[in-house]
A and B are shown apart, each in its own frame.
Chain A
Amino acid sequence: MTLSRIALVSALLCWGGLTLAHTHLEQSIPANGSRLAQAPRSFVLRFARPVHLTALSLQKGAEPAQKLGPLPESAAAEFTLPAPQLAAGTYILSWRSVGDDGHVMPGKLQFTVKSP
């Protein structure tokens, strides 16, 4: 079998099962770097394409990160998740998502709550 035949067979084998998706965050509530007069009741993450949200955690200052869940099992472009009760302080919301390209994409945003 020649190299060109191998390439042709490979191309045919992998042609199926390819779908279109990107996994980057387009918008969030709260926005990265925002300073909120009141604590948010929920977090909204909007991605460019549907993804699986596989991890979400919240960290206040130097305290240990707290895992949030349960997370939706199905893929979606937008996730709205209830926020825990938050005291005044600076928080980092971190997540991991997986798109159709199979890449695990981490992300995080920071926001400050001025009063609970």
Chain B
Amino acid sequence: MAEPFAVIDSFSAVLRAVSYVLQLQAAGVAIFCVLFGRMIPASLLIVRRDGRRLAASAAVFIACQFALDAGRMSGDWSGVADPALQSLSLRSSSGLACALRLTGMGLLAGGFPGGSRAVLALGVALTAAAFPVTGHTSVSPLRPALIGLLLLHVLVVSFWMGALWPLLRVIAHETAASAARCVERFSTIALGAVPLILLAGIGLTALLLQSLAQLLQPYGAVLLAKATLFAVLMGLAALNRWRFSPGIAGGQATAVRAFRRTAIAEWAVICIVLLLTAVLTTFYSPEAA
């Protein structure tokens, strides 16, 4: 029979999606500050302030989503107030992941104002480390390989997604020459790093799915949707790299506007991908694919 998912499962998936967006965005802003902080004197404080707010918001959503886990265990809202189920949730791998995420967000929220690179890096590391602790990766016999691929996947997505809003701040507040240098350097790193998302994704899929036929089942279909959106993202990123970045360096207002639109579109598509990821991790399993 089909699995009986409840309203609380859908609510949890939405909270999980928002939580993914905020925590990866906050971690990405931290990576951006570590990599490019010295190049953006006029906008660094604004970027750090954004990062602190993102980390604090992420912590709230992480806590809310975790609190709902006990409700999901009981299948209705009564579980949220059940001490035995909350205790079980705290002792489970989800509890460990939640603790890692909250500590990571705490370090980021506390580290942004001072700008300590070590604190920000540790916050990013803890945030990323939470992902392989639960789910299919954590129980597979192939987990060493899966953990490596998932960490690579998460860190590069975070780097890419997290840089988009800071880049908009940079373009708005830095001089044209300074902004162009920053965009140029980001694009150069992204060009080498972003294909790793696809490679890691293919590796994860190959290790988790047992046959190509499973791609036609719900779990595989959501994976294919993610891959399709990734192709759209690569197109948008290529536009920014090859068409608009040179225009920004030349001080063209049209190029700046086009870059801004494309960056927002990239960010929106990444959010949709993260929503699909939340749906995938809440409702589906590769075993049941």
Cβ-Cβ contact count across A and B, 8 Å cutoff: 129
- Count class of interface residues, chain A: 35 or more
The answer, yes or no, to whether A106 is at the interface (CB within 8 Å) is yes
In the bound assembly, the distance between CA atoms of A14 and B101 in angstroms comes to 12
State the CA gap A9–B155 with chains docked (Å).
12
Say yes or no: is B176 at the interface (Cβ < 8 Å to chain A).
Answer: no
In whole Å, how far is B236's beta carbon from the nearest beta carbon of chain A?
Answer: 22
Q: A73–B85 Cα gap in the complex (Å)?
A: 10
Q: Name the residue among A6, A9, A73, A100 with the largest chain B CB count within 10 angstroms.
A: A6
Choose one: B124, B129, B139; the contact of A21 (CB below 8 Å).
Answer: B139
C-alpha gap A47/B271 in the complex (Å): 35
Whether B1 and A110, one on each chain, are in contact in the complex, defined by CB atoms closer than 8 angstroms, is: yes
Beta-carbon contact of A10 and B125 below 8 Å:
yes
Q: Mark B5-35, 1 if CB is under 8 A from A, else 0.
A: 1100100000000000000000000010010
Residues of B within 8 A of A18 (CB): 93, 132-133, 138-139, 143
**Chain B contact residues: helix, strand, loop or mixed:** helix
Cβ of A62 < 8 Å from any Cβ of B?
Answer: no
- Are B135 and A102 in touch, CB under 8 angstroms? yes
Contact A11 to B288, CB < 8 A, known contacts A94-B75, A106-B5:
no
Q: Does B148 contact A (CB under 8 A)?
A: yes
Are B121 and A1 neighbours in the complex by a CB distance under 8 Å? yes
Q: Are A7 and B152 in contact, with the CB atoms below 8 A?
A: yes
A41: Cβ under 8 A from any B Cβ: no
> Closest residue to A48 on the B side, CB-wise?
B287
Q: What are the residues of chain A within 8 A of B97 when measuring CB–CB? A: 102
Name A1-60 residues within 8 Å CB distance of B. Answer: 1, 3, 5-7, 9-11, 13-15, 17-22, 24, 32, 52, 54-55, 57
Can you list 14 A-B pairs, Cβ within 8 angstroms, ordered by A? A10-B155, A11-B147, A13-B125, A14-B132, A14-B147, A15-B147, A21-B139, A24-B287, A55-B79, A96-B72, A98-B73, A101-B138, A101-B139, A106-B6
Known interface pairs A101-B135, A104-B69, A104-B72; 5 further A-B residue pairs with C-beta atoms within 8 A, sorted by A's residue number: A5-B121, A6-B155, A13-B125, A102-B97, A104-B9
